[in-house]
């Protein structure tokens, strides 16, 4: 049985300590700010990005990795592996938001005679990808086969939900990632939109609330209805809004049967499309905790 290596991209916003701990390969997207091009998370940290953002006249733009860049990553993984039966599971940002998946697919086809690469459209963004990838990497480290990882991944993707709050819809609108939330334009007036993602990975307005406190209550009720007392992993990501992130994390800790939590920063690519002040919460069932609970006593 061949080993499985997990690859994702920088929009998963996974903290570096988890990337290192679970041996995850992260392929950076690019951010163009003025006349400069940066690699997300490599040559541009979240802190530096938001500082530069305040000085720009025009919004930053982003681009996916090229197929060649993915090819190089896949080939390097194969070259470093002693396992001839190695497989790569490459999980990426929603194709509704980026061409990253398409680049990865083209690269996988180019290297198919060298290494087996399975590319998956997560249909998610930020740590909604991250929480899934981390749990997937744990399985791979524990020796799960490619088939086992793919089966688990399908379940992870179906049962992970994400909600996020933005201070403004300007960034989503101007960068063309606003999706079905375009219906909210011009109608906010002191309202705080609670956004989520459709099953296809497109932004949509879950609900509007008057102010942050009520918006947090909307998210709390949604999560309680979806997960009840089910053991869960929670990941909160924020764009230079740590206090709001901690408040959102407290909602999850208080209302859910939380097994683990992560508070992370939204990187430059996602931040280019949401702006400063954005916070999101991703929740995924903790399947290993359920297995332990279900064992006969």
Q: Residue 38 maps to which CATH number?
A: 3.40.50.10170
Which pLDDT does position 180 carry in this prediction?
A: 43
Assess contact for 22 and 137: CB atoms under 8 A. yes
Burial 212-233 (b: 16+ CB within 10 A, else e): eeebbebbbebbeeebeebbbb
Residues 164, 152 within the same domain: no
Residues 140, 231 within the same domain: no
Which pLDDT does position 167 carry in this prediction?
A: 77
Q: Which structural domain range is residue 191 located in? A: 159-294
Final residue in a domain of this structure, among 158, 192, 212: 158
Residues 178, 144 within the same domain: no
Residues 6+ apart with CB under 8 A from 143: 1, 3
Residues 47, 140 within the same domain: yes
Which pLDDT does position 287 carry in this prediction?
A: 82
Give the chain's domain count: 2
Claim: this prediction has a pTM higher than 0.85: yes
Residues 209, 282 within the same domain: yes
**Domain of residue 198, CATH code:** 3.30.1180.10
Residues 53, 146 within the same domain: yes
Final residue in a domain of this structure, among 139, 158, 177: 158
Residues 75, 211 within the same domain: no
Which pLDDT does position 7 carry in this prediction?
A: 99
CB atoms within 10 A of CB 91: 27
- Region of 182 on the Ramachandran plot (φ > 0 left; ψ -120 to 50 alpha; else beta): alpha
Give the distance from CA 123 to its chain's centroid: 9
Which pLDDT does position 166 carry in this prediction?
A: 84
Residues 218, 281 within the same domain: yes
pLDDT mean by block of 10 residues, the chain; 297 residues: 90 98 98 96 96 88 97 96 90 97 98 96 98 97 96 97 83 50 47 89 90 92 95 97 95 95 97 90 84 35
Which pLDDT does position 135 carry in this prediction?
A: 97
At 284, give phi and psi (nearest 5°): -135, 135
Residues in the chain: 297
Residues 65, 191 within the same domain: no
Residues 231, 164 within the same domain: yes
Closest C-alpha among 277, 273, 235 to residue 256:
235
Residues 227, 287 within the same domain: yes
Which pLDDT does position 289 carry in this prediction?
A: 55
Which pLDDT does position 1 carry in this prediction?
A: 52
Residues 8, 141 within the same domain: yes
Final residue in a domain of this structure, among 158, 174, 195: 158
Distance in angstroms (rounded) separating the CA atoms of residues 236 and 258: 13
């Amino acid at each position: 049985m061949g080993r499985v290596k997990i690859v994702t991209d920088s929009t998963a916003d996974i903290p570096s300590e988890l990337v290192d701990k679970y041996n995850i390969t992260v392929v950076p997207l690019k951010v163009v700010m003025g006349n400069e091009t940066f690699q997300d998370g490599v040559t541009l940290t979240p802190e530096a990005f938001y500082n530069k953002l305040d000085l720009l006249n025009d919004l930053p733009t982003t681009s996916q990795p090229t197929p060649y860049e993915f090819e190089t990553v896949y080939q390097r993984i194969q070259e470093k592996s002693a396992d001839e039966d190695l497989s790569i599971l490459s999980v990426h940002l929603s194709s509704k938001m980026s061409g990253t998946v398409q680049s990865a697919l083209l690269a996988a086809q180019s290297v198919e005679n060298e290494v087996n690469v399975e590319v998956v459209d997560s249909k998610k963004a930020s740590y909604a990808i991250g929480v899934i990838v981390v749990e997937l990497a744990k399985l791979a480290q524990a020796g799960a086969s490619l088939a086992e990882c793919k089966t688990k991944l399908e379940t992870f993707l179906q049962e992970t939900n994400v909600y996020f709050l933005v201070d403004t819809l300007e960034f989503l609108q101007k960068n063309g990632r606003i999706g079905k939330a375009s219906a909210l334009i011009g109608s906010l007036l002191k309202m705080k939109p609670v956004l989520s993602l459709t099953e296809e990975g497109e932004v949509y307005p879950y609900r509007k609330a008057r102010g942050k406190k009520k918006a947090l209550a909307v998210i709390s009720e949604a999560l309680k209805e979806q997960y009840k007392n089910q053991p869960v992993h929670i990941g909160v990501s924020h764009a230079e809004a740590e206090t709001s992130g901690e408040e959102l994390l407290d909602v999850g800790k208080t209302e859910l049967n939380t097994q683990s939590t992560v508070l992370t920063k939204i990187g430059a690519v996602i931040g280019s499309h949401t702006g400063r002040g954005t916070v999101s919460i991703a929740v995924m069932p903790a399947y290993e905790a359920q297995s332990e609970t279900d064992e006969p006593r």
